[in-house]
Amino acid sequence: MLRTGTNSLDFDGINQMALRCPQELIRASEEDFAHQLEQVARDILAHSEAKIIFLAGPSSSGKTSTAQLLCTRLCEGGQCCHVISTDNFFIDSDRYPKLPDGSPNFDSFECLDLPLIRKCMTEVTQTGRTMLPAFDFAAGKQLLDQTPLQVGPHDHIIIEGIHSLNPRMHAGLSPERFYRVYVNVRSTIYREEEIILTPQDIRLTRRMIRDSAFRGYPASMTLSKWWSILAAEQVNIIPYRRQVEGVIDSTMWYEPCLYSHFLKRVEASGEVQDEQEKSKLDDLLRRAERFHPIPLEEVPSGALTGEFFGI
């Protein structure tokens, strides 16, 4: 068994399967994740009046893909489902709260247009229709009335984002009308008593790979911001993670076998110069190189890992 505890995975077992039969390792991991989605979907359907699902998780937890995959599961159960990102509800960036150093606090709940969120939820629950905003990240501007949303009386709405579990999001809604889901990398990979990768290691590596390869952000920027991201999570997510109805562990057992190629490329680029950040990158690469590599082509299309590896 690869899973040796509720939140622990066996390093030797992962490596043996990656060497012997990587397809079987991927299949077993994808089945474990699909089983979790199925359990949460069934529980949502059992709460017949809970039509609004608030789904949150910290940075690089896979919440965006999980929301889409959960939506698919609910649709397979005979329900229509719609996914809304709280990113669409950002206010103009020049109105963001400031950190002590004067820079914008992008992680603050106050960056969201809460009155507009409540207006849209009220309209859609009372009339089945609303107009969703959007956010122009390049210009830092809020765009109102961009996308019409029409919802049937039996449809579900998933509202995903780092702030979705904040009680202010569902203030005024009857408890039976909503369902909360917490998504995170929850499993640590061990070799006997030795910790090989922690959940934070996995999330940081995911974010570095995605930012560097697909968002045009250098790994140095991701590494320099990581500790402030973790500090913001202590305020915005951790206090609410136990006040949920469903929990999903987004650890993909095979993904460390994909890391070394990407991390070697980041290291070779020379973009990380800060001594402390380079030390962290080197440490992650050393750990990643202990896993038997799996070609990215083995990962199925539509897998959660595609959010970070561009599949």
Give the rounded percent of residues in the chain with a pLDDT score beyond 90. 61
In this predicted model, what pLDDT tens digit does every residue of 89-102 receive, in sequence order? 999 989 988 888 88
Mean of pLDDT values over 32-54:
92
pLDDT at residue number 145: 84
Give 114's pLDDT tier (boundaries 50, 70, 90): very high
* Residues 97, 100, 101, 104, Cα dihedral to 10°: -10
Output 259-264 pairs: Cβ under 8 A, ≥24 positions apart: 259/205, 259/209, 259/284, 259/288, 259/291, 260/285, 260/288, 260/289, 260/291, 260/293, 261/293, 261/296, 262/208, 262/209, 262/212, 262/213, 262/309, 263/205, 263/208, 263/209, 263/288
List, for residues 145-182, the tens digit of each pLDDT value.
889 999 888 899 999 999 999 999 988 888 888 999 99
Mean pLDDT computed over 184-188: 96
Report whether pLDDT(31) > 70: yes
Q: What per-residue confidence (pLDDT) applies to 173?
A: 83
pLDDT exceeds 70 at position 250: yes
Q: Give CA separation, 244 vs 77, 167, 181, in Å.
A: 22, 11, 6
pLDDT greater than 80 at residue 310? no
